[in-house]
A = this chain, B = another copy of it.
């Protein structure tokens, strides 16, 4: 496994002609969710590149950039075991040098849902992923469905900009009690950890309601709100959208997906599920 700590080093990698390169972008502090993406990439690629970069451009000044967890040595040990070929680990100064001015934005869908609370977030995500794709030059990129809006935004971006890269969404990996794996789960304290499972419970309950014949989005959302009602949890949003374009839906169909964001104590958690399982 080669570790490349600068952009020119990564750009200089000469992949053998015709080899299929799979790419997994991460912010490090890897958990089983990330590793499932690496496994998917290894399975379908000749060569696998994983990037580790805590991207300052996707954090607002008020957010947790400085305290975001980091453990590079542990990450490397995990990737080494998984037959990763290249780890790209650039610095923020190299990714955004003095005089940096260029930003890409997927309009509309970057400003709804999580984009309401985090108005610059998806601009930062889109820009860094575009840069990483240009530097790494993969055929496929693997992302978790946990950040479902991110997945949709980046699929739209790569299609609109004719990047010729497949963006492959992979299933959410969960703890035994259903909580979606996230680096931010680390911040959950005391009772918050147990209470955080209410997002999962609200999603599975919604799925059950649909299976039982309830197709009115409004009623399903109201039931989910009731399940999340707790003094430790503050809902940001609970929405049912068309998974293809994130537009809100009134009546459930096979494309409907519930998306939830909520603060559980300090950390803000997100989760989502297809309602027609």
Contacts and interface: CB of A to CB of B under 8 A. Distances in A.
Interface of A: 7, 11, 17, 99-109, 126, 130-131, 134-135, 156-157, 160-164, 245
Query: By DSSP majority rule, is chain A's interface helix, strand, loop, or mixed?
Result: mixed
Contact of A162 (B105, B108, B135): B135
A156 B245 contact: no
Contact of A160 (B101, B135, B156): B101
A164 B130 CA distance: 13
A135 B158 CA distance: 12
In the complex this chain forms, how many copies of it are found?
Answer: 2
A101 B156 contact: yes
User: What 10 A-B pairs are tightest by C-beta distance, nearest first?
Assistant: A102-B160, A104-B104, A134-B162, A101-B107, A135-B162, A101-B106, A102-B106, A102-B157, A131-B162, A101-B108
A112 to B, nearest CB: 12
A86 to B, nearest CB: 16
A70 B33 CA distance: 53
Nearest to A244: B99
A163 B162 CA distance: 14
B101 A103 contact: no
Contacts of A131: 160-162
Contacts of A99: 156, 245
A102 B135 contact: no
24 contacts: A11-B162, A11-B164, A17-B17, A99-B156, A101-B107, A101-B156, A101-B160, A102-B106, A102-B107, A102-B126, A102-B160, A103-B104, A103-B105, A103-B107, A104-B105, A104-B161, A105-B105, A131-B160, A131-B161, A131-B162, A134-B161, A134-B163, A134-B164, A135-B162
Nearest to A123: B105
A105 to B, nearest CB: 6
Given A101-B160, A131-B161, 11 more contacts: A7-B162, A101-B106, A101-B108, A102-B106, A102-B107, A102-B126, A103-B105, A104-B104, A104-B105, A130-B161, A135-B162
A160 B100 CA distance: 6
A66 to B, nearest CB: 24
Given A131-B162, A164-B11, A104 B106 contact: no
A129 to B, nearest CB: 11
Contacts of A17: 17
A172 B134 CA distance: 31
